[in-house]
Structure 1
Amino acid sequence: MSTSPRSTTWRTRAAVAVATLMAALLTPAAAHAAPEESTPVYSYADAIREAVWVDTGLDDDGDGRPDRVAVDIVRPSEPAQQGQRIPVIMDASPYYSCCGRGNESQLKTYDAAGDVVQMPLFYDNYFVPRGYAFVGVDLAGTNRSDGCVDVGGRSDIQSAKAVIDWLNGRARAYTTRTGTSTVQADWTNGATGMIGKSWDGTIANGVAATGVEGLKTIVPISAISSWYDYYFAQGAPLYDSGPDRLSDAVESSGARAKCAAVQRKLVDGAPRTGDRTPLWTERDYVKDAAKVQASVFLTHGMQDLNVRTKNFGQWWDALAENGVARKIWLSQTGHVDPFDFRRGTWVDTLHRWFDHELLGYDNGIDTEPMADIERHPDQWETSSTWPPSDTRTTTLHPARGDRPGVGTLGLTPGTGTESFTDDPRLSETDWAARIDTSTPAKAGFVTAPLTRDLRLSGSSQVTVTATPTTRTAHLSTVLVDLGPDTVRNYADSAEGISTLTNRTCWGESTAGDSACYLATRAKTTGVTATVFSRGWADLGTYASPDKGVPLTPGTAYTLTVDLAATDHVVPAGHRLALIIAGTDKNLIDPPADTPTLTLDLARTSADLPLVGGAPALTRATTGSAATAPSFTPLDSVSAPGPAPRIPRG
């Protein structure tokens, strides 16, 4: 990983932690060598299982007393008996009773005393024997917690932050939901790492953005960094619903009866116009990236069409700008946990990460390559930094070709116009399948076949100057790799994996909590084109990203569309394409009208993150054949299905 001002702090903190651990845990005979790996020396069967309720200081359900969140704890019994304090791995989730966690949708289960029996996922089975406590927090308004679900807002974030404060002696917890007996976390050193997929990982991002003391690292998996960018893309709606429906899906029945006022705020604060409001500002963690003190190990599927990849790209860039120590995995999957696409390597890497960040072990993970990228199904490569240090924003220009709607893409500015008519029945895969055909619903621009591989790494922007025929218009811009390949079938309902019947085990089991999970393998398909980056916008936000306005038919408007972050290699023999069109079926909602848009090509361009910059493109297109190769329609990846309404587990 690259050295930065914050990573220097990281290494200093690790050195201090190592010294402390050596003094506390090692015998004099062994004190000459720092430990490199925690091992399963503690009994999982004898682990302490307990529940506490932490005071959040809020009263969102209006019952006249502070809301308390339920915290289920599994921790080894031996360290406390030996006078040792241990770190915490935490997953704060709204899904512990409604929807489940992981590929098998596990829920928390309890014994007659109310202590957790099954804690979803493998984290407790694996890490508790290795000297960690695992803590599962029910977000406010869910499962056994008081309060109301506010979908990424103050209550959600305070649910987890208050627990970290309690672990560090700054907040109060009770032995029951309504009782007065307090309990202290005298078994922990307060060092906490947060982990979680989707909404859970989103909470980790949001808590890190508060700068709370004691949070040492976060591992957000397919997580949101700005809730506006979960629901909208520059004013264009991505879903046919808002956060109120998401709240209703996870809220406990007891909370629902008390939380009408919070539900009303979610409705009123999130208008379907796509305007940015104070509700969205509160739920934007990117703006507070400067407060992040925790290191970040981020992982995301590059074909995630649930939590779309703009969320990781803008978060990663903001963390980099603020010198946060970080690591990243990028897969070919959709909304899938790495436990289900790279299981053994994931568990090993996560183990080493937490050992380094929470136990201070000098295991070298901080000096290894920053990024792991899945280039083909189950084929991974590393990158010492991400994006690579020689990545340069390079401006490409669309130009008219020999036929309407079938143009070229290169370094030379184009002239003239191209037009298309919005057709909400068609998707990005339909456009790509007809890239070499004049069709009325898209404008496509293609390079010549490449003579060398061309890598794009990071986020792109496409600036479009368009004249609409109607008062409303949406734009979609996609980058396509034209050529045969075998990819994970991200458009399948399992988003790139197949679940098998055999199980693999990760940690220790009890009668009520198995450490064994159904194995998976890559679900692949052959394609003749791959859409690898996307961006959408309402043309009415041309003057301000915060508010859309009606358009004047016949007037030209210029708008820059953000395309989601990615890392993709267009191989030699393939072509790179830019497609500009209207509604992307199932990925954005259509506008009120059916516009025809005319592009001014002299004022339309694409800024792409090319590894090697413009010279790399020049080398990759030198000597290319003048005619395009034959191209057949997509053979297996269908159009993406309807966008899910909640971040799935």
Structure 2
Amino acid sequence: MEIRARGARWSCRTLVAAASAALLGVLLAPAGAHGAARATPPAKVSKPTYSYADAIRESVWVDTGIDADADGRTDRVAVDVIRPREPAWQGRKIPVIMDASPYYSCCGRGNESQKKTYDADGAPAAFPLHYDNYFVPRGYAFVAVDLTGTNRSDGCIDVGGRSDIQSAKAVVDWLNGRARGYGSRGGTDRVRAGWTTGATGMIGKSYDGTIANGVAATGVEGLKTIVPISAISSWYDYYFAQGAPLYDSGPDWLSGYVESPEARARCQTVQQRLIDGAPRTGDLTRLWSERDYVRNADKVKASVFAVHGMQDLNVRTKHLGQWWDALADAGVERKIWLSQTGHVDPFDFRRTAWVSTLHRWFDHYLLGYDNGVDREPMADIERAPDQWSTDRVWPPRTTDTTTLRPGKGSAPGVGTLGRTPARPGSTETFTDDPRLGESDWAADIDRSTPAKSGFLTRPLSHDLRLSGSGTVTVTATPSTSSAHLSAVLVDLGPDTIRDYGATGEGITTLTERTCWGPSTTADSSCYRETTARTVDVGHTVFSRGWADLNTYASAGHGRPLTPGKPYTLTLELAASDHVVPAGHRLALIIGGTDQGLIDPPSTTPTLTVDLATTAARLPLVGGAEAFTRATTGSVPPHSSPRETPHNGVAEPRRTPPIPGDRT
């Protein structure tokens, strides 16, 4: 429950009463056969009955079983635990919520960059985020794990590799009696987790959520659920888009950024392995294969509650789409929230609903309560700032991959988009200009410009919804030996959206605070509120895909192009869920370097696109029939196109290669 941090101070008893009243309202059932109203018992819910102030706070070092730094001793990871004292007195065992992170000392967690703190005796005093304050009084333990090579752990950071994943998996094993824990970093005093049921739920944003994905992909017993927020599913796809580099650095930079000073002194060999195994050519090496969790999605036994910003340009929604589809194929229980934000935690864009939903999710999967959360709609999708819709299944069952074809228009570079293939020999030509990107292309969609080719539908007569992941197959003839391609989908029409390109990536942080559980002098449960940061736009880019044309023959290896020779390559579009309203137009833009989002090739090519063999395969709700319906008939008068200003979203900018919170 949310408690405003102003006015009279609340006693612990008052907080318990208020939270219980809010969460335990009785639902009335429909009248029975004889018309008598019957009360339906409220869904079972964990209540804040335990003392947060008196909770046990302890540190344990868990043996990972590997020696990443090659010092002759297996590495131990620091595990900071907070758990209610009373269940142990009562002989009751409790479940665990766990966040494994490399950021607890270097960078901080959450919108306010919180770090772990310790008292004079070295015992944990402050745990970042609200998970401890809110859930410990409700009968959960919260466990904060320092990945190897960070904060108080041994070993070396491995940027999603074996050491990283084993850091957290070993803790799940320890919680289930399968690994050894110790009361000190180098001591022999064994510590057992006899206080827990072993049922563990992992949660975390970005790097932390990535670790949850990776641990789930091991199939470890005892991991009951994961809640990955803006998480990576394949590290290759974090640094490259089908061979096109997304950043001018690799995993060695990230490793050096988050590792502890002690690790920096002993982990040069691991650093060199990261450099050698991740060449800037974009070749798919063994290092990347080992950091691809999608390939092991069939091992996942945990349920998955995934959250992602559809405008996340740090951990792009390609990660979500390929992970989600693989989990679906494996029959994994799933739930999803998709927001209009960038790289933002749901606690900071939908706080009250998020805490309530997360509470019921953990109650169901960790405590076994039949509260109906598993029978609720699978998907919550933000349609406009703070306006949400739901879907029973995502993507909806009526979604069908539909082929759309670019065609010649009345002016060069301004073509059509429909169902009819272009005539053989139809082409469009553009020259890569690394100074321009998707915002520039979309703003000039109706004009002949040399750096892009755009293809548009007529104004739609009915709404058209795209849901899921699509592809664009392009046949292009380059003038040079190297070339990059971009494909973007654009909703052409006026709208008010979250300003994902600005600082905050769609939110503004306020000064007022709300509290989410009890606090101590060292650990406050009160966090600054946020509000949607919005902007009026004339168009919205809602899905993107990039590739190095040099990978035309092999997704894992580039080779020089022969100027004047045509090559065919399929670009994978990032997952999205977007409704193009009646009166707007759907556009496909094909260009070269998407400025600020991918690096340019080594040359400046001119590319000629063969329209007859180029096609977009898009996930349309209602399929081809929905597209035909939307592109025929009269446009409703209230939604007719009108003059609109240039897109108000700030230019997409290269974010540092740090898949964590902005600090």
Alignment of 1:626-641 (within 5 A): 629=641, 631-641=643-653
Taking the aligned partners of 1:224 and 1:365, their CA distance within structure 2 comes to: 25
Cα distance 1:34–1:439, how it changes in 2: closer, same or farther (>3 A)?
closer
Indicate yes or no: 2:104 matched with 1:96: yes
Structure 2 residue 320 is the aligned partner of structure 1 residue 312: yes
Q: Measure how far apart 1:644 and its partner are.
A: 2.3
Which residue, out of 308, 318, 321, partners 2:329? 321
Q: How far apart are 1:623 and its partner, in Å? A: 2.1
Q: Distance in 1 between matches of 2:198 and 2:370?
A: 20
Q: Output the amino acid matched with 2:657.
A: R
| Partner residue, 1:290 | 298
User: Match for residue 116 of structure 1?
Assistant: 124
Mapped partners of 2:114, 2:178: distance in 1: 32
Correspondence for 2:385 among 354, 359, 377: 377
- Structure 1 SS opposite 2:628: helix
Aligned to 1:603: 613
Q: Among 43, 58, 71, which residue is 2:51 paired with?
A: 43
Contact 2:487 2:590 in 1 (8 A): yes
Is 1:448–1:624's contact at 8 Å kept on the other side of the alignment?
Answer: no
- Aligned twin of 1:642: 654
* Residues matched between the structures, number: 617
C-alpha deviation, 1:112, in angstroms: 1.4
Which of the residues 516, 523, 527 maps onto 2:533?
A: 523
One-letter identity of the residue aligned with 1:539: L
1:435 to 2:445 alignment: yes
CA contact (8 A) 2:443 2:647 kept: no
> For residue 489 of structure 2, what is the aligned residue in structure 1?
479
Who is 2:173 aligned against?
Answer: 165
- Deviation string 1:406-431 (CA, Å, 9 cap, x unpaired) is 00000001130000000000010000
Does structure 1 residue 344 correspond to structure 2 residue 352? yes
Alignment of 1:560 onto 2:570: yes
2:493–2:641 contact (8 Å) kept in structure 1: no
Match of 1:313, SS?
Answer: helix
Distance in 1, Cα, partners of 2:201 & 2:460: 45
Q: Say which SS state the counterpart of residue 293 (structure 1) adopts.
A: coil
**Structure 2: how far apart are the matches of 1:482 and 1:62?**
56
Q: Post-superposition, which runs of at least 4 consecutive aligned residues in structure 1 deviate over 4 A?
A: 32-35, 628-633
Deviations 1:148-198 (A, max 9, x none): 001000000000000000000000010000011100000001000000000
Which letter maps to 1:357? Y
**For 2:477, what is the secondary structure of its paired residue?**
strand
Q: Deviations over 1:309-366 (max 9, x none)?
A: 1000000000000000000000000000000000000000000000000000000011
CA contact (8 A) 1:433 1:633 kept: no
Deviation at 1:633, TM superposition (A): 4.9
Match of residue 601 from structure 2: 591
1:121 Cα offset (Å): 0.1
Amino acid of the residue matched to residue 75 of structure 2? D
> Displacement of 1:630 after TM fit?
5.3
One-letter amino acid of the structure 1 residue matched with residue 132 of structure 2 = D
Is residue 477–residue 565 contact of structure 2 (8 Å, CA) maintained in 1? yes
Deviations 1:258-277 (A, max 9, x none): 10010000000000010100
* Structure 1 counterpart of 2:8: none
Q: Does 1:542 align with 2:552?
A: yes
- Relative to 1, partners in 2 of residues 1:35 and 1:184: Cα closer, same or farther, differing over 3 Å? farther
Residue 505 of structure 2 corresponds to residue 495 of structure 1: yes
In structure 2, the residue matched to 1:25 is: none
Aligned to 1:22: none
How far apart, CA to CA, are the structure 2 residues paired with 1:395 and 1:615?
12
Amino acid at match of 1:530: T
| Distance change >3 Å, CA 518–CA 589, structure 1 → 2 | same
| Aligned equivalents of 1:139, 1:540: Cα separation in 2 | 37
Alignment of 1:118-517 (within 5 A): 118-415=126-423, 416-517=426-527
SS at match of 2:266: coil
For the 8 Å contact 1:434–1:633, the answer to whether it is kept is no
For 1:59-70, list aligned pairs within 5 A. Answer: 59-70=67-78
Aligned-residue RMSD, C-alpha: 1.3
What secondary structure, in the 3-state scheme, does the structure 2 residue paired with 1:589 have?
coil
Spell out the pairing of 1:44-83 with structure 2 (5 A cutoff). Answer: 44-83=52-91
Cα distance in 1 for partners of 2:452, 2:182 equals 60
Q: Which amino acid aligns with 2:442?
A: A
8 A Cα contact 2:519 2:525, kept in partner: yes
Alpha-carbon distance in structure 1 between the residues aligned to 2:516 and 2:500? 26
Which amino acid is the alignment partner of residue 612 of structure 1?
G
Shift of residue 624 of structure 1? 4.9
Q: CA offset at residue 63 of structure 1?
A: 1.5
1:405 counterpart letter in structure 2: G
The aligned counterpart of 2:633 is 623
Q: Residue 106 of structure 1 aligns to which amino acid in structure 2? A: Q
Equivalent AA in structure 2 for residue 458 of structure 1: G
CA distance in 2, matches of 1:281, 1:586: 27
Is this contact kept in 1: 2:439–2:647, CA < 8 A? no
Inter-partner Cα distance in structure 2 for 1:125 and 1:178? 30
How many angstroms does 1:283 deviate by? 0.2
Whether 1:575 and 2:575 are equivalent positions in the alignment is no
Separation in structure 2 between the aligned mates of residue 341 and residue 316 of structure 1, nearest angstrom: 22
Structure 1: distance between partners of 2:508 and 2:543: 24
Distance in 2, Cα, partners of 1:506 & 1:382: 26
Distance 2:386 2:644 in 1: 26
- C-alpha separation in 1, matches of 2:178 and 2:603: 55
| Alpha-carbon distance between aligned partners in 2 of 1:277 and 1:63, rounded to the nearest angstrom | 27
Does the aligned pair in 1 maintain the 2:284–2:556 contact within 8 Å? Answer: yes
Measured at CA, do residues 573 and 33 of structure 1 come closer, stay the same or move farther in structure 2, by a change above 3 Å? closer
Cα contact 1:395–1:608 (8 A) shared by 2: yes
Percent identity of the aligned residues?
74
- Are 1:433 and 1:632, in contact at CA under 8 Å, matched by a contact in 2? no
What secondary structure does 1:564 align onto? coil
What secondary structure is seen at the aligned counterpart in 2 of 1:101?
Answer: coil
Q: Deviations over 1:451-501 (max 9, x none)?
A: 000000000100000000000000000000000000000000210000000
Deviations along 1:516-571, one digit per CA (max 9) or x if unpaired, are: 00000000000000000000000011111010111000000000000000000000
Shift in Å, 1:643: 2.5
Q: Distance in 1 between matches of 2:539 and 2:502?
A: 16
Q: Distance in 1 between matches of 2:260 and 2:528?
A: 29
2:193 is aligned with what amino acid?
A
Unaligned ranges ≥5, structure 2: 1-39
Q: Give TM-score, length-normalised by structure 1.
A: 0.94
Query: Aligned in 2, Cα 1:596/1:630: closer, same or farther, shift over 3 Å?
Result: farther
TM-score, length basis structure 2: 0.92
In 2, are the aligned partners of 1:396 and 1:411 still within 8 Å (CA)? yes
Answer whether contact 1:91 1:135 (CA < 8 A) is retained: yes
**3-state DSSP of counterpart to 1:257:** helix
Confirm or deny: 8 A CA contact 1:91 1:200 kept in the other structure.
yes
